[in-house]
Chains A and B, each alone.
Chain A
Amino acid sequence: MILPEPNHHPDCNRPLADATLVACLDCDLLQRIPEVPPGASVRCPRCDKELWRHKADSHNRTFALTLAALVLYLIANTVPMLGLHAAGREAFTTVVGGAHQLWLDGQQIVAVLVLFAAVISPALQIGFLLLIVIGCQRERPPAWVGLFLRHLHFTRTWSMIEVMLLGVLVALTKIADYATVILGTALFALFALVVLLAAIQSTFDPREVWQRVRWAEPDAGVSQVENAEVKS
Chain B
Amino acid sequence: MSANNPIAMEHGLQSCHGCGLLSRPAPGAEEGRCPRCDEELVFRKPRSLERTMAYLIAAAVCYVPANLLPVLTTNTSGGSESDTIMQGVVLLWSPTGWPLSLIVLFASIMIPSAKIVALLYLVFTVKRGSIQNNAQRVRLYRMVEIIGRWSMVDVFVDTFTVSLIQLQPLMSVEPGPGLFFFAAVVVLTMMAVESFDPRLIWDSASAKEIKREVQHA
Contact = CB atoms under 8 A, between A and B. Distances in A.
Interface stretch (B22-30, B47-55, B56-64, B120-128): B22-30
A206 B41 CA distance: 19
Contact of A210 (B12, B36, B141): B36
Nearest to A29: B5
A217 B35 contact: yes
B103 interface: yes
Contacts of B32: 11-13
Nearest to B159: A98
A35 to B, nearest CB: 16
A30 B149 contact: no
B24 A223 contact: yes
B110 interface: no
A87 interface: yes
Interface string B6-43: 11110111110111111111110101111111110100
Contacts of B179: 107, 110
B50 to A, nearest CB: 20
Interface residues of A, number: 81
Contacts of B157: 167, 170-171, 174
B116 to A, nearest CB: 19
B190 interface: yes
Interface residues of B, number: 79
A113 interface: yes
Given A13-B25, A91-B166, A157-B190, A216 B135 contact: no
B164 A84 contact: yes
B117 interface: no
Chief secondary structure at chain A's binding surface: mixed
Interface in A42-56: 46-49
A206 B183 CA distance: 32
B138 A174 contact: no
A23 B33 contact: no
Nearest to B171: A178
A170 B163 CA distance: 14
A14 B156 contact: no
B183 A109 contact: yes
Interface string A28-47: 11100000000000000011
A216 B167 contact: no
Contact of A28 (B7, B149, B156, B163): B7
Interface string A189-232: 00000000000000000110010010111101001010011110
A117 interface: yes
Interface stretch (A61-69, A70-78, A145-153): A145-153
Contacts of B20: 22, 25, 207, 210
B24 A16 contact: yes
Contacts of A174: 91-92, 97, 157, 161
Nearest to A169: B100
A9 B6 contact: no
Most chain B beta-carbon contacts within 10 A, residue among A27, A149, A151, A178: A27
Contact of A102 (B19, B35, B104, B175): B175
Interface of B: 5-9, 11-15, 17-27, 29, 31-39, 41, 91-92, 96-97, 100, 103-104, 107, 134-135, 138-139, 141-142, 149-150, 152-167, 170-171, 174-175, 179-180, 183, 187, 190, 194, 198-199, 201-203
